[in-house]
Chain A
Amino acid sequence: MSKSKRELREQRRAAERAAVAAESRRRRIRNLLGAAGLAVVLVVAGIAISAAGGAKAKPVEHSSAAKLVAGLPEKDGVLGDPNAPITVTEYLDLQCPICADASKANLPHLIENYVRTGKVKLQVRTLSFIGPDSVTAAKFAHGAEQQGKLWAFLETFYASQGQENSGYVTPEFLEQVAQASGVDAGKAAAFAGGASAQAALDQADGAAQALKVDSTPSFTVTRDGGQEKVVAVGLEDLTNKLDKAIS
């Protein structure tokens, strides 16, 4: 009799424990679902803010971007005195944010100290590996080059650069950049649509491959009659490296 009482007591305790465990499990799952629900709300709100903040290109600024190269001669995309003994070539992609940084941070020194003094002439090879927007922009840039306005176009484009591969390089966007940099948009667009623009892109790609240039911006230096040599890749210590290579 007493044994059966103990058994009953143990059974009751086991049942209580099971009930407590089940209730605890239900509570924990409820907590988990609540936390997940709240997390989803927060993440969705964060994504909405993030997506609105990203993407779109900045409006084209009628900025002083093109002032940097104002007054300098430009022929076939080569900026500065055509007889300058040293040629600095920049391999760039118009969509590359670091190229825009280099243009703001390092090109002014190069242009003021070497190009304006007739020691260096500056040219670019427009690569287009980042994506379709790069191709559209590079072809249009060659259209600007035909008008002797490549550099004004490049600097203005950088000042209005949008999010990579967001599709921001539309005909309207290019027209605005062209207007702000004094380029005839219609003529540039017509050139961009032709075979010569594609040929210019292929030529730039070929030059980059020959030098094993695979990231932008890369800078090369060619002395009169000499071989083209890569002297700097990226922004790190760029001005010093160029100074050293030129002097």
Chain B
Amino acid sequence: MARVASIVVAVIGLGIAAYLTVVHYAGDAPVCAIAHGCATVQKSDYAMLAGVPVALLGALGYIAILAALIRDDENARTAAVFLSLVGLGFSGWLTYVEIVKLDAICIWCVGSAICMTILTALTVSRVLTASPPELARAH
């Protein structure tokens, strides 16, 4: 159940990141409910990490999470937690940058940060609640 929910959330996150990546390369301003905010965030120097748009990194992150969700063994679960935690940490940093440094909020970025938060909660709970494979075999 948590796995299916994780897949749904990751697909939503991938959609957001893919949209922002397309907008980045097209040079457009994202459609934004809060005037001015999205374009400011998207065009800021923080929108790139070592020359790579953070939107693209986000999209790749969601793809990696989805790949980790395909299998349901212990290694795959740990990988999904690891990727979600990295995504959550970096989303947290970018949200801090938006609020404190740019004074502008990009609603798409907030959406992605929420997806990463939910994904982290789901993937952590999967690792903690999974029944041991040794017992599954014993039955």
Contacts and interface: CB of A to CB of B under 8 A. Distances in A.
A47 B90 contact: yes
Given A32-B127, A97-B40, A165 B103 contact: yes
Interface in A10-56: 17, 20-21, 23-25, 27-29, 31-32, 34-36, 38-40, 42-43, 46-47, 49-50, 53-55
B72 to A, nearest CB: 14
B78 A50 contact: no
B64 interface: no
Nearest to A100: B43
Contact of B103 (A24, A164, A234, A235): A164
Given A35-B82, A55-B101, A163 B36 contact: no
Chain A contact residues (Cβ within 8 angstroms of B): what range?
Answer: 35 or more
Given A35-B85, A235-B29, A53 B102 contact: no
B26 interface: no
B82 A215 contact: no
> Interface on chain B toward A: helix, strand, loop, or mixed SS?
helix
B63 interface: no
Nearest to B97: A54
Given A43-B93, A46-B90, A46-B93, A32 B135 contact: no
Contacts of A24: 132-135
Contacts of A28: 74, 127-128, 130
A39 B89 contact: yes
Contacts of B108: none
Nearest to A13: B138
A27 B75 CA distance: 11
Contact of B124 (A32, A46, A96): A32
A171 interface: no
A240 B96 CA distance: 38
Contact of B104 (A31, A54, A164): A164
> Interface on chain A toward B: helix, strand, loop, or mixed SS?
helix
A84 interface: no
B35 interface: yes
B2 interface: no
A196 interface: no
A63 interface: no
A206 interface: no
B105 interface: no
Contacts of A235: 29
Contacts of A47: 90, 93
A163 B97 CA distance: 11
Contact of B89 (A21, A32, A40, A49): A40
Interface in A80-105: 96-98, 101
A130 interface: yes
B17 to A, nearest CB: 15
Contact of B101 (A29, A36, A98, A163): A163
B39 A20 contact: no
25 contacts: A17-B138, A20-B134, A23-B132, A24-B133, A24-B134, A31-B81, A32-B78, A32-B81, A35-B82, A35-B85, A36-B82, A39-B82, A43-B93, A46-B49, A53-B50, A54-B44, A97-B40, A97-B43, A98-B40, A98-B43, A130-B103, A163-B101, A164-B104, A235-B29, A236-B29
